[in-house]
Structure 1
Amino acid sequence: METTHSPALEKSDTSPETCQYTEPTPPSHSVDNDLETPSSDHRFPETDLSCGIVGWDGQDDPDNPQNFAPVRKWGLLGLMSAITFVSPLASSMFSPSASFVATDLGVTNETLLSFSISIYLLGYAFGPLLLAPMSEIYGRRIVLSCANWFFVVWQIGCALAPTLTCLIIFRLFAGVGGSGCLTLGAGVIADLFPVEQRGLATSVWSFGPLIGPVAGPIAGGFIGGTIGWRWVFWVILIVSGAVSLGIEFLNRETYASVLIRRKTARLRVEMGRPDLRSAYDPHGEAASIPRTLATGLKRPIVLFVKSPIVLLLSTYMALVYGLLYLFFTTIPTVFRNQYGFSTGLSGLAYLGIGLGFFLGLLSIALTNDRIMLKLARRNGGKFEPEMRLPAMIFYACFLPISFFWYGWTTDKHVHWIVPIIGMLPFSFGMMGVYLPIQTYIIDCYPGYAASANATLTASRSLVGALLPLAGPKMFESLGLGWGNSLLGFIALAFVPVPVFFSRWGRVIRERYSVQL
């Protein structure tokens, strides 16, 4: 039976040793001044059988995820965003029911009870270090699928946990699985979208991780207070199972390197050309599986240790994330004890944070790509990742406001609506810091966006898990007014940090470039 090939493959079969293959420039790093779209001369590696290279069948190859129809692109991102909402929802949905767990399981140690809530974020800290590099070796689809079902299965363990120790262990495993969508989303955005659309795409994908922790206590408060704390996990199981099943049927592989690797293996057999090699590995055969795994698993750590800009941005984001979770430690008790809210109603106090998140996300989604394109035009049409960062300067100024506002109004027992409104500036500012950093990392390392994002996720989750353990003691010693003021002064001290990143980010990135 005769095998047919696309026209792009019909090239002369000269010896690979006699040809000179030029790798294409990375996609989407120059911007046309008139069209405000990326230059498309030779963005993607193409098949050249004369050199033994297998790539895309032209720049408009429909199999290239960057060339997918917009409906398909946004549909795939929508699937990722759906599970990315459910996973962070599980991180905080359990927190209002902690008092019911204490009664049911006979727990008297407040620190252990708090740890049963924050242990989930430790799973977020460790999971990305494994899942991100695995996705760059085996592809996004299979790794996301395995992570999702791992997350779903451990909800059963949490719902049936006989002791607090079991609950803590099961929550840890659930967090590891739940970190998959948070980690791989950045990679999927880099796979699907050119640079001038990544700001909007990142905003859509980030809606879940930021709204989930706010919606969780609201839903969890009513569920735990009416039908019991175990039903919190049964509800998460039902929702996550349904979303994971939908992803199983509708999701597609998007990682270019894996797609071309599979295409290369197929053509080697069909054409009898064992010399063929992927355009994403044009210098020789791929390394052995153990070596490839070792290299991939080290990649997030290498980025964190050897790239000062990744280290600094991860540290800054971790600090902001830690402040958010310290904020969370006082909200349920303050509104129950000082304002007489029920367990269910106390969750509604998070609406101030949720509204700020929504306004901040909307603001960034509408302006981030436009600002980048404007700065690129001023730079002769050349895009630089640091063009994402100047917006942070404006938003960082909002972070300290909420701590003083919320802290002293609750300390002085001002009407409950005032401290709820006071939470809004922090969450608004946090979105303006979080999203540009996320998009910046994707732009800097588009081929390894998942690993780069893993360093951000792991560091902020580690701080978010451990720092709140100090919250009750701190507020007990300093009170709500001065305790929150201390956090406000810390946030105020870090306001100049975005100025440093905007001014020196490029110098640091270029001087300490990392070979991955």
Structure 2
Amino acid sequence: MASNPQSTNPDLVDWEGPDDPMNPMNWPLRKKVAITITVALLTILTPLGSSIVAPAAFQIMEEFQQPQDDELSAFVVSVYLLGYAFGPMILAPLSELYGRNIVYHVCNVLYLLMTIACALAPNLPGFMVCRLLAGAAGSAPLSIGAGSLADIIPSKNRGLAMGAWVLGPVLGPVIAPIAGGYLVESRGWRWTFWVLAMLAGAFSILALICLRETHPYTLLRRKTKALRRQTGNRNLRSALEAGQPASSLFMFSILRPTKMLFFSPIVSLFALYIAVIYGYLYLLFTTFPSVFLDVYHFSSGNVGLTYLGIGVGSIVGMVFQSLTSDAVFQWLKDRHGFPKPEYRLPPLFLSCWMIPISLFWYGWTANRDVLWISPIFATSLMGFGMVNAFTAVSTYLVDAYTEYAASAIAATTVLRSIIGAVLPLAGGPMYKTLGLGWGNSVLAFIALAMCLLPFLLYRFGERIRKKTFVTL
């Protein structure tokens, strides 16, 4: 029999009222915290793999007897991000069709296997292919993590959890080169992947223990199947079911992130904003070794420590976002009498300026050979601005597209990963032509122009969303 007492259709299966314990929104706090922490750890793990080889790029080229080419060395690092670009287009729709858990667990195993394959790679093409596939599998927590949090955490409390989740794409690539620098110096580049594989195995076991299926559609589908077996009523169907065959739903779901990226101006604009910032992050990652080796004469091990500036700034940014996001959202909601996604953007009004300031400061201090602490401190502003941008935009998109949060985040992940993979390839030629000062200034002017975006979308975002509704 149908379980929704408010429904006039006896064959419609829904939650048992607003307090149904099966509804992920009503789960105990300890269960939600365990899931949130596990998703956050997975989201830190896979970005570790993106930059852990940054200090080892030249060593890898030497072992595989390749010419020391700056662009190819940068691609050794950024090819991983191409996997990030293609993975979400499949994984996010699969999670909305078959559930989050199966996607997490399968991708965790694939990521572990591809990481081991990188450690054992006999040549550069094999290494590149394994890096690409590891990136695709590792994109799972970045693609569907926001959807998992949206499934279990109400909008008014979502800022803190999203801050922890967003820290992964920024803090993970910062931590990795620090460890990678010393591992490469003492044990060689292959050990960076063995350490990564150990972490992947441990986190995969943690995920098996702590993660639970959170997707409401999947949970109601399972409940419907169970009731069909118990009652023999084959007419029962989920209240959230679209009434289409699985094959049609799958194809429709596969296209959803692409449609949102190209036909939803809100998603398109914020995807471009995050993509540019993310590209800057990886451009800095791939140029730090040459800057601090050549200009400041650091050892290869100590070069990894230069990434700490971004790391410290990221942690401070997460604290700032955690203290302001939910508080500002609630204050604006109380003031205007209703909630809307645009109330997530005000913390970005301050932090967006930190990125162009960071680029100007870093570029000209490194160009003038100012004391090494100055450019490192400058990059802390980049970390602060990036975490706030990622958190504000991700939380905004989750609030605006809750039902399809995974697809909205996947759309931004695709574009940012492509630019993150390609932009570092242009870094070497740009800096050779313009120098560190003017090269970073060009990037800063672009970031400065994009600071207008959060202000414009706070003012006009709701109107744009209503006028450009995309059939999802």
Partner of 1:436: 392
Q: Find the counterpart in structure 1 of residue 60 from structure 2.
A: 101
* Structure 2 residue matching 1:51: 3-state secondary structure: coil
Deviation readout 1:49-92 (Å, 9 max, x if unpaired): 75311111121111111001111101111111111111001100
Residue 272 of structure 2: aligned partner: 315
Q: Distance in 2 between matches of 1:373 and 1:167?
A: 49
**C-alpha contact 1:156 1:234 (8 A) present in aligned 2:** yes
Task: State the Cα deviation string for residues 313-353 of structure 1 (Å, max 9, x = none).
Answer: 11111111112222223211111112121111001001111
Partner of 1:55 in structure 2?
Answer: 14
**Aligned partners of 1:391 and 1:179: how far apart in 2?**
27
Q: Which moved more, 1:168-177 or 1:314-323?
A: 314-323
Quick check: 1:47–1:56 contact (8 Å CA) kept in 2? Answer: no
Query: Displacement of 1:183 after TM fit?
Result: 0.8
The corresponding residue for 2:46 is: 87
What CA deviation, in whole Å up to 9, does each residue of 1:338-370 have, x standing for no partner? 212111100100111111111111100111011
- Rounded Cα–Cα distance in structure 2 between residues aligned with 1:133 and 1:318: 21
Q: Partners of 1:268 and 1:97 in 2: how far apart?
A: 57
AA paired with 2:375? P
Shift of 1:115: 1.1
Give the Cα–Cα distance (whole angstroms) in 2 for the partners of residues 216 and 47 of structure 1.
52
Match of 1:503 among 436, 440, 459: 459
Which residue is 1:130 aligned to?
Answer: 90
8 Å contact from structure 1 (residues 47, 55) kept in 2: no
AA at the equivalent of 2:180:
G
Match status 1:77 vs 2:36:
yes
Change (3 A) 1:483 1:262: same
Residue 326 of structure 1 pairs with residue 283 of structure 2: yes
**Equivalent residue number for residue 214 of structure 1:** 174
Alignment match of 2:413 (pick from 430, 452, 457): 457
Q: Residues 6-405 of structure 1 correspond to what in structure 2 (within 5 A)?
A: 9=3, 48=7, 50-108=9-67, 109-281=69-241, 286-380=243-337, 382-405=338-361
Aligned match of 1:37:
none
Shift of 1:391: 2.1
Structure 1: how far apart are the matches of 2:323 and 2:56? 37
Distance 1:271 1:436, change over 3 A: same
Bigger drift between 144-153 and 269-278 goes to 269-278
Q: Give the superposition deviation at 1:446.
A: 1.0
Q: Deviation digits for residues 72-114 of structure 1, max 9, x if unmatched?
A: 1011111111111110011001110112112211111332222
Q: Which amino acid aligns with 1:347?
A: G
Q: Provide the rounded CA distance (Å) in 1 between the counterparts of 2:38 and 2:286.
A: 31
Farther-moved stretch of structure 1 (59-68 vs 125-134): 59-68
Amino acid at match of 2:343: M
Q: Which has the higher contact order (CA 8 A, sep 6+)?
A: 2
1:140 is aligned with what amino acid?
Answer: R
CA distance in 2, matches of 1:49, 1:492: 55
Q: Which runs of 5+ in 2 are unaligned?
A: none
**SS at structure 1 position matched to 2:139:** helix
Amino acid at match of 1:104: E
State the secondary structure of the residue aligned to 2:296. coil
Indicate if the aligned counterparts of 2:94 and 2:253 stay in contact, CA closer than 8 A: yes
| Paired-residue identity, % | 43
Residues in 2 aligned to 1:410 and 1:71: alpha-carbon distance in whole angstroms: 47
Distance apart, 1:413 and its partner CA: 1.1
Instruction: Please give the alpha-carbon distance, in whole angstroms, between the structure 2 residues aligned to 1:141 and 1:50.
Output: 31
Looking at structure 2, the residues matched to 47 and 277 of structure 1 have their Cα atoms a distance apart, in angstroms, of: 15
1:425 aligns with 2:381: yes
The number of equivalent residue pairs is 471
Q: Which residue number in structure 2 is paired with residue 468 of structure 1?
A: 424
The residue matched to 2:313 in structure 1 has which SS? helix
**What's the CA shift string for 1:217-274, capped at 9, x where partnerless?**
1000011111010111111111101111121132110001110011011111211221
Q: Could you tell me how far 1:406 is from its partner in structure 2?
A: 1.1
> CA offset at residue 472 of structure 1?
0.3
Equivalent position amino acid for 1:362 in 2: V
Distance in 1 (CA, whole Å) between partners of 2:414 and 2:42 is 18
Give the C-alpha shift of residue 299 in structure 1.
0.9
- Unpaired segments ≥5 residues, structure 1: 10-44
Determine if contact 1:408/1:480 at 8 Å carries over to the other structure. Answer: yes
The AA in structure 1 aligned to 2:175 is: A
Letter in 2 for 1:253: E
- 1:35-62 deviation line (CA, Å, top 9, x unaligned): xxxxxxxxxx767475311111121111
Contact 2:54/2:285 (<8 A) preserved: no
After TM superposition, give the deviation of residue 479 of structure 1 in Å.
0.9
Q: 1:494 to 1:297 in 2, by over 3 A?
A: same
Q: Secondary structure at the match of 1:167?
A: helix
* Structure 2 CA distance for partners of 1:229 and 1:306, relative to 1, 3 Å: same
Q: Which amino acid aligns with 1:303?
A: M
Does the residue aligned with 2:430 lie in a helix, a strand or coil? helix
- Following the alignment from structure 2 to structure 1, what is the Cα–Cα distance between the partners of residues 77 and 343? 37
Deviates more, 1:244-253 or 1:133-142: 244-253
CA root-mean-square deviation: 1.4
Give, in whole Å, the separation in 1 of the partners of 2:99 and 2:176. Answer: 31
Greater CA drift, 365-374 or 479-488: 479-488
User: How far off is 1:498 after superposition?
Assistant: 1.5
Task: Tell me which residue corresponds to 1:493.
Answer: 449
Q: Which amino acid aligns with 1:306?
A: F
Which structure has the larger Rg? 1
CA distance in 2, matches of 1:197, 1:405: 36
Distance across 2 between alignment mates of 1:303 and 1:208: 24
Name the SS of the counterpart of 1:423 in structure 2.
Answer: helix
- Equivalent residue letter for 2:272: T
Aligned to 1:145, what secondary structure does the other structure show?
Answer: helix
CA distance in 1, matches of 2:392, 2:446: 21
